[in-house]
Amino acid sequence: MKIAILKERASGETRVAASPETAKKFAALGCSVAVEAGAGVIASITDAAYAEAGATIADAAATVKDADIVLGIQAPEVALLAGAKPGAWVAALFDPFAKREVVDAYAAAGYEALSMEFMPRITRAQSMDVLSSQSNLAGYKAVLAAADAYGRAFPMMMTAAGTVQAARAFIMGVGVAGLQAIATARRLGAQVSATDVRSATKEQIQSLGAKPIFVENVAGIEGEGSGGYATEMSPEYQKAQAELVSSHIAKQDIVITTALIPGRAAPRLITDEQIATMKPGSVIFDLAVAQGGNVEGSVPDEVVVKHGVKIIGYSNTPAQLPADASALFARNHYNFLSAFWDKEQGKPVLDEEIGTAIRLTRGGKVVNERLLG
Ligand code: NAD
């Protein structure tokens, strides 16, 4: 069984899909591992470190030649896979709703595309979940980036020259990224509040020492949909939420937005009118900027200043922490394949639940229900 790791080619991508640690573990399962030369350089992993872990270092063509499985961060272009075994598996982020043409190309080429972002949110798949591992880092980095752009300090400081007030930080969307954003802003000394549409998050916000800000007294306020994901909210709820946000946001120095709804554009949480009520010098970090943005006027990879407020958003926030993001992504890949390892066959055999959830293409066809519906 040959596993291939290519250098990522997408613009701004800094991560790599295997680490020396996972290369060694795959070798222990009996696999040969090939890594394209220079694949880990930006993530601070040298070719020598991979070689020491038992991997072969080669150019792109030799890396994929006769591969049974190709692991990626973002799905490689089909042309790069020429020479891989017919029906080879490719496990990576496919962004399947936005990049349907890539999925179709994989089907036409006969590869089996496994979409890591479709990993179901079930307990046994937690260790395989790249959205969680990467969102956690993104939530942390968003707060650091906001703190860096903020012209003031986060913690309260009592000095001989006078007192510096603690920054007020508001986290909108309390999933994996939001929880880490709360924890990070608290560690830096900010006064933190947070909101979500899922009422289960109230307790989580409190347990991290932050203040929950929630819409009450509106029918149908439970925003929890299938698989722990949020659903789109009713117009009544959206109106009540907008009013609540308006009154709260004017007093905030830092706002981090993380709200996503799978398969849809990110919900708009902050309007230009609301930004105008904030104090000059405040900072908003829009973690959903690549999915259409939670914040009116946010632009991927740019700092936009509106009404004296800086609005920031990276199109790929985990890529700002290449070493840790790669190490965790690589472990997700290993945990996934090793969990399904069939010793007798010397290869992974997926079960029905996870296989059906993440498999996009097979036998020359697009097979995933979420894409066919
Ligand atoms: P996500 O990235 O899909 O969304 C981020 C947050 O935004 C969510 O908490 C969502 O409720 C919130 N949101 C959506 N619309 C909103 C709106 N209009 N206003 C305010 N907030 C809004 O979510 P996520 O980070 O992937 O996690 C969601 C839940 O799933 C969490 O409870 C998490 O612990 C759970 N989870 C479980 C597993 C697993 O068991 N394998 C894996 C990942 C996540």
Q: From first to last of the 373 residues of the chain, give the pLDDT tens digit.
A: 999 999 999 999 999 999 999 999 999 999 999 999 999 999 999 999 999 999 999 999 999 999 999 999 999 999 999 999 999 999 999 999 999 999 999 999 999 999 999 999 999 999 999 999 999 999 999 999 999 999 999 999 999 999 999 999 999 999 999 999 999 999 999 999 999 988 899 999 999 999 999 887 665 555 555 566 666 677 888 888 888 888 899 999 999 999 987 778 898 999 999 999 999 999 999 999 999 999 999 999 999 999 999 999 999 999 999 999 999 999 999 999 999 999 999 999 999 999 999 999 999 999 999 999 7
Expressed in angstroms and rounded, the spacing between residue 305 Cα and the centre of ligand 1 is 28
Residue nearest to atom 3 of ligand 1 (CA): 260
pLDDT value at position 125? 97
Return residue ranges of the chain for CATH 3.40.50.720: 2-118+322-353, 134-320
How many angstroms is it from 126 CA to the middle of ligand 1?
A: 14
Compute, in angstroms, the gap from residue 251 CA to the centroid of ligand 1.
Answer: 25
Can you tell me the ipTM of this complex?
A: 0.95
For residue 24, the one-letter residue type is K
Q: Output the CA 67–ligand 1 centroid distance in Å.
A: 35
- The answer to whether the CB of 314 falls within 8 A of the CB of 300 is yes
Q: Which one is the CATH code of 134-320: 3.40.50.720, 3.40.50.970, 3.40.50.1220, 3.30.70.360? A: 3.40.50.720
pLDDT tens-digit map of 306-356 = 999 999 999 999 999 999 999 999 999 999 999 999 999 999 999 999 999
Considering only the top CATH level, what class is 2-118+322-353? alpha beta
* Ligand 1 site, residue 248, Cβ cutoff 6 A: no
pTM of this structure:
0.94
Q: Whose CA is nearest to atom 4 of ligand 1?
A: 260
Q: What is the dihedral of CA 181, 187, 191, 193, to 10 degrees?
A: 30
Residue 227 pLDDT: 60
Cα atoms found within 13 Å of the Cα of residue 180, Cβ hemisphere only: 18
DSSP string, 50-69: HHHTTPEEE-HHHHHTT-SE
**3-class secondary-structure state, position 112:** strand
Is 226 close to ligand 1, i.e. is its CB under 6 Å away?
no
The pLDDT of residue 245: 85
SS3 257: strand
Ligand 1 neighbourhood includes 175 CB (under 6 angstroms): yes
Whole-number pLDDT of residue 229? 63
176 lines ligand 1 (CB under 6 A): yes
Cα–Cα distance, 1 to 29 (Å, whole number): 9
What pLDDT, on a 0 to 100 scale, did the predictor assign at position 237? 81
Question: Residue whose CA is closest, atom 20 of ligand 1?
Answer: 196
pLDDT at 226: 59
Q: How many CB atoms lie within 10 A of CB 329?
A: 28
Q: Given this model, what pLDDT does residue 224 score?
A: 59
Those residues with Cβ within 8 angstroms of residue 34's Cβ, 6 or more apart along the chain or in another chain: 2, 3, 4, 5, 55, 56, 57, 58, 62, 63, 64, 67
Give 216-219 contacts, CB < 8 A, sequence gap 24+: none
**Considering only CA atoms, which residue is closest to atom 25 of ligand 1?**
175
Mean pLDDT for the chain overall: 94
In this prediction, residue 191 carries a pLDDT of 98
Active site (catalytic) residues: 121, 126, 129, 132, 229
